[in-house]
Amino acid sequence: MREQNCIFCRIANGEIPSTTLYEDARFRVIFDLSPATRGHVLLIPKEHYADLTELDTETAREVLPLAARIGRAMKAGLGAAGFNLVQNNGEAAGQTVRHFHLHIIPRYGAGEELLLWKPGESTAEEREALSSRMGEYLR
Ligand code: AMP
Ligand code: ZN
């Protein structure tokens, strides 16, 4: 399905122009308009899936191999020393466009702000309790 009011549906399907790095039958990879670093791109499926929980299996299985190809191209072509994959699911997680997309952010290793969290603390009991609350949904 494609949604008329979804900006990434329209970009991925070429209705709205974008600077496209790569395109195939299932995906378009475009440059982010507000890049975290030079060369930050978004991998966007042409079909509409709001987030990772809706992505179909066929599409999902192509996402990481394609991200790896792009990461290799960032290293070879841009001189990136590494890259981050970032993928936000839901407003609470910072997702602003409700059409699945994977950020691929090249890293050059000098003075960049990294997307890290402050390490917290947990006890074994807490981890066990969390595991049993989620575990029944994974069976
Ligand atoms: P997220 O917060 O994960 O939903 O990320 C949405 C990303 O899309 C942001 O990094 C925006 O800068 C980027 N973005 C929004 N509109 C466009 C657009 N028309 N072309 C390219 N990137 C866009
Ligand atoms: Zn869409």
For the CA of 87, the nearest atom of ligand 1 = 3
pTM of the full predicted structure? 0.94
Give me the residues paired with residue 107 across strands: 82
pLDDT in tens, 38-70: 999 999 999 999 999 999 999 999 999 999 999
pLDDT, position 138: 94
pLDDT, position 2: 79
Catalytic residues: 101
91 lines ligand 1 (CB under 6 A): no
Give the distance (Å) from ligand 1 centre to CA of residue 139.
Answer: 35
pLDDT in tens, 60-116: 999 999 999 999 999 999 999 999 999 999 999 999 999 999 999 999 997 777 877
> What domains are defined for the chain?
7-135 (3.30.428.10)
